[in-house]
Amino acid sequence: MLAKTLRSTALKLGAACALMAGLVPGVANAWEPTKAVTFIIPAGTGGGADQMARFIQGVIQKNNLMDKPVVVINKGGGAGAEGFIEMKASKADPHKIIITLSNLFTTPLGTGAPFNWKDMKPVSMLALDQFVLWTNAEKNYPDAKAYVDAVKAAPDRQFKMGGTGSKQEDQIITAAIEKQLDGKHFTYVPYDGGGKVAVQLVGGHVDSSVNNPIEAVAQWRGKQLKPLCIFDSKRSTYTDKVTDDMAWSDIPTCMESGLPVEYQMLRGIFTTSGATDEQVQFYVDLFKKVRETEDWKEFMKKGAFNQTTMSGPEFEKWLTAAEAKHKELMQGAGFLAASQ
Partner 1 sequence: MEDFSSLMGGFAVAISGYNILLMVVGILLGVIIGVLPGLGGANGVAILLPLTFGMDPTSAIIMLTSIYWGALFGGAITSILFNIPGEPWSVATTFDGHPMAQKGKADEALVGAFTSSFVGAIFAVVLITFLAPVIAKFALRFGPAEFFAVQFLTFASFLGMGRGSAMKTLASMCLGFALASVGLDGVTGTLRLTFGYDELLNGFKFLVAVIGLFGIGEILSSMEEGLAFRGAAAKLKMDAVIRTWRQLPRMAVTFLRSCIVGSWMGITPGGATPASFMGYGLAKRFSRNGRNFGKGELEGVVAPETAAHAAGTAAMLPMLTLGIPGSPTAAVLLGGLLIWGLQPGPLLFVEQKEFVWGLIASMYMGNVVGLVIVLTCVPLFAAILRVPFSIIAPAIVVVCAIGAYTVNNSMFDVWMMLVFGVMGYLFTKLGYPLPPLVLALVLGDQAESSFRQAMLTSQGDVTVFWHNWLSGGIMTLGVILALWPLVSMLLGKKEGDDKVTTTA
d(CA 252, CA 259): 11
Single residue of 43, 217, 254, 329 touching partner 1 by CB under 8 A: 217
User: What is the strand order of the sheet 96-99 is part of?
Assistant: 70-74, 37-41, 96-99, 265-272, 120-129, 310-311
The DSSP secondary-structure symbol of 206 reads: S
Single residue of 221, 234, 297, 317 touching partner 1 by CB under 8 A: 221
Per-residue binding string, partner 1, 78-97, x by CB under 8 A, is xx-xx--x------------
- Under a CB-based contact definition with an 8 Å cutoff, are residues 93 and 33 in contact? no
Single residue of 100, 124, 168, 253 touching partner 1 by CB under 8 A: 168
Neighbours of 184 (CB within 10 A): 17
Phi, psi torsion values for 89, nearest 5 degrees: -75, -25
Per CB under 8 A, contacts with partner 1 among 172-191 are 187-191
Q: Which is nearer to partner 1, 158 or 307 (CB)?
A: 158
Single residue of 75, 95, 226, 267 touching partner 1 by CB under 8 A: 75
Helix (H, G, I), strand (E, B) or coil at 112: coil
Length of the chain: 340
313: part of which helix (H) or strand (E)? helix 312-333
d(CA 200, CA 212): 15
Q: Which is nearer to partner 1, 77 or 274 (CB)?
A: 77
d(CA 320, CA 109): 14
Residue 246 lies near partner 1 (rule: CB under 8 A): no
Nearest approach, Cβ of residue 127 and partner 1 (Å): 16
User: What is the strand order of the sheet 132-136 is part of?
Assistant: 187-191, 160-164, 208-209, 132-136, 225-230
Q: Applying CB under 8 A, which part among 70-78, 118-126, 264-272, 275-283 lies near partner 1?
A: 70-78
Q: Which is nearer to partner 1, 98 or 206 (CB)?
A: 206
Query: Considering CB under 8 A, how many residues would be counted as binding partner 1?
Result: 67
Nearest approach, Cβ of residue 285 and partner 1 (Å): 21
Per CB under 8 A, contacts with partner 1 among 251-310 are 298, 302
Phi, psi torsion values for 306, nearest 5 degrees: -85, 115
Dihedral sign, Cα of residue 256, residue 261, residue 267, residue 270: positive
Nearest to residue 286, comparing CAs of 94, 133, 153? 94
Q: Which is nearer to partner 1, 99 or 198 (CB)?
A: 198
Residue 61 lies near partner 1 (rule: CB under 8 A): yes
Strand 160-164 to 187-191 pairing: parallel
Q: Which is nearer to partner 1, 55 or 318 (CB)?
A: 55
From residue 240, alpha-carbon distances to 41, 303, 308 in Å are 30, 12, 19
Residue 339 lies near partner 1 (rule: CB under 8 A): no
Per CB under 8 A, contacts with partner 1 among 189-208 are 189-193, 195-196, 198-200, 202-203, 205-206
Per CB under 8 A, contacts with partner 1 among 105-164 are 110-114, 157, 160
Single residue of 22, 31, 55, 143 touching partner 1 by CB under 8 A: 55
d(CA 52, CA 54): 6
Q: Which is nearer to partner 1, 133 or 330 (CB)?
A: 330
Give me the residues paired with residue 191 across strands: 164
Where does this chain bind partner 1 (CB under 8 A)? 1-2, 5-6, 9, 12-13, 16, 44-46, 50-51, 54-55, 57-58, 61-62, 69, 71-73, 75, 77-79, 81-82, 85, 110-114, 157, 160, 165-168, 187-193, 195-196, 198-200, 202-203, 205-206, 217-219, 221-222, 224, 298, 302, 335, 337
